[in-house]
Amino acid sequence: MHIVICIKQVPDSAQIRVHPVTNTIMRQGVPTIINPYDLFALEEALRLRDAHGGEVTVLTMGPPMAEDALRKALTYGADRAVLLTDRCFAGSDTLATSFALSRAIVRIGETFGAPDIVFAGKQTIDGDTAQVGPGIAKRLGLLQFTYVAKIGSIDVDAREITVKRRSEGGTQMLKSRLPCLVTMLEGTNEIRRGSLDDAMRAARSQIVKWSAAEAGIDDLNKCGLRGSPTVVKRVFAPTTRAEKATQIDMTDKTQHDLADELIAAIFTRQPALEHELAFDGGQ
């Protein structure tokens, strides 16, 4: 079985700061990580490989430094890493990104064998769109399963797969065919620690690096800014409210007095609440 997993290197946005005056992002020194959601998909891919045999190829599109994320994925146990990197991809929106990645997946298929499953993270923590996975599926004409909580069974010979996918009110059980694209829900599996062997192998591994041309992309109008229907017009900081919270005065009060005072303040501001609360709650 050949599994391809798409990951993204993202800034650890917990550590991003916005310049107070210029409202620009201060990226200097912000460490990068593998998009956390992708790790659940990677883990699932590795488990499937361990259970059914085959290979896991990890793919990313990004600047040359995204190689670090790939090497990290290799330490977890991926077999092969492909970096799609080219200046022409700069500024890609989700449509352009899904185009480039889908072309690279076709190329991976031609070079290393057609994938049975393509994995992607549910969404990224920097873009948050959850659109690239479905975009790739559509581009490749693959069946798609997003928000998958569990892969039930896979029959590689019969080309069958069952998945449990999260929906608003419950879980849907689906049966479908390989090849397909799956995005995994977070928290669905325990992410492994890479072994020492894998770490050593990762350090020695050659990462396959493809430019747009090497990945077989000849239509540059579909890449980067030119291939992106959406245009970012303005980036700005959220407005802050002028007044701060009204503080309940603490001096010389017991916790019980404070509680009574807070409740009084709540009901003064929201008189209707008292009635509703007495009605619904309090039993």
Partner 1 sequence: MSNANREAPPSAGRAGIKRELPEHFRDYRHVWVFIELERGEVHPVSFELLGEGRKLADKLGMQLAGIVLGPPGEATQHAIAEAFAYGADLVYLVEAPLLADYRNEPFTKAMTDLVNTHKPEILLLGATTLGRDLAGSVATTLLTGLTADCTELDVVDGSLAATRPTFGGSLLCTIYTLNYRPQMATVRPRVMAMPPRTDKPVGRVIRHKLSMTEEEIITKVLGFNLDRQSAKANLAYADIVVAGGLGLGSAENLQLVKNLARAIGAEYGCSRPLVQKGWMPADRQVGQTGKTIRPKLYIAAGISGAIQHRVGVEGADLIVAINTDPNAPIFDFAHLGIVTDAIRFLPALTEAFTRRLSPHSHDKLAS
Ligand X SMILES: Cc1cc2nc3c(=O)[nH]c(=O)nc-3n(C[C@H](O)[C@H](O)[C@H](O)COP(=O)(O)OP(=O)(O)OC[C@H]3O[C@@H](n4cnc5c(N)ncnc54)[C@H](O)[C@@H]3O)c2cc1C
| 71-110 binders of partner 1 (CB under 8 A) | 89, 91-95, 97-98
What string marks each residue from 107 to 126 as x (binds ligand X by CB under 6 A) or -? ------------------x-
Nearer to partner 1, 164 or 201 (CB): 164
Give every CB contact of residue 178 below 8 A, 6+ residues apart in sequence.
116, 117, 154, 156, 159, 160, 161
Collapsed DSSP state (helix, strand, coil) of residue 181: strand
Q: Which of residues 195-224 bind partner 1 (CB under 8 A)?
A: none
Which H or E run includes 117? strand 117-121
Return d(Cα 9, Cα 56) in angstroms, integer.
18
Which range of residues in 42-50, 75-83, 142-150, 208-216 is near partner 1 by CB under 8 A? 142-150
Count of residues touching partner 1 (by CB under 8 A): 95
Q: Does residue 235 interact with ligand X by CB under 6 A?
A: no
Closest distance of CB 139 from partner 1, Å: 6
DSSP symbols for 123-161: --TTT----HHHHHHHHHT-EEEEEEEEEEEEETTTTEE
- Tell the residue number behind the tokens 């017991």, with chain if given: 254
Q: How far apart are CA 154 and CA 160, in angstroms?
A: 6
Residue 191, contacted partner among partner 1, ligand X, none, CB below 5-8 A by kind: none
Minimum distance from CB of 265 to partner 1 (Å)?
6
Decide: 171 and 164 in contact? Cβ < 8 Å: yes
Q: From the CB of 101, what's the least distance to ligand X, in Å?
A: 22
Shortest distance (Å) from residue 15 CB to ligand X = 8
Q: Which is nearer to ligand X, 37 or 119 (CB)?
A: 37
Under DSSP, the state recorded for 62 is S
Subset of 24-53 contacting partner 1 (CB under 8 A): 25
**Tokens (6 digits) for 169:** 């009110």
The CA distance from 114 to 142, in Å, is 12
**Contact between 13 and ligand X (CB under 6 A)?**
yes
18 binds, among ligand X, partner 1, none (CB under 5 to 8 A by kind): partner 1
Token code pair at residue 60: 């990313």
Among 28, 64, 158, 167, binds partner 1 (CB under 8 A): 167
Q: What is the C-alpha to C-alpha distance for residues 221 and 198, in angstroms, rounded to an integer?
A: 39
d(CA 148, CA 115): 19
The answer to whether residue 250 forms part of the interface with partner 1 (CB under 8 A) is: yes
- Residue type at 35 in one-letter notation: N
Rounded-to-integer distance, Cα 142 and Cα 212, Å: 22
- 23 sits near ligand X (criterion: CB under 6 A): no
Residue of 106, 156, 174, 199 that binds partner 1 (CB under 8 A): 174
Contact between 14 and ligand X per CB under 6 A: yes
Identity of the residue, 37 or 76, whose beta carbon is nearer to partner 1 in the bound complex:
37
Binding residues among 123-162 for ligand X as defined by CB under 6 A = 125
Query: Which positions lie near ligand X, rule CB under 6 A?
Result: 13-14, 125
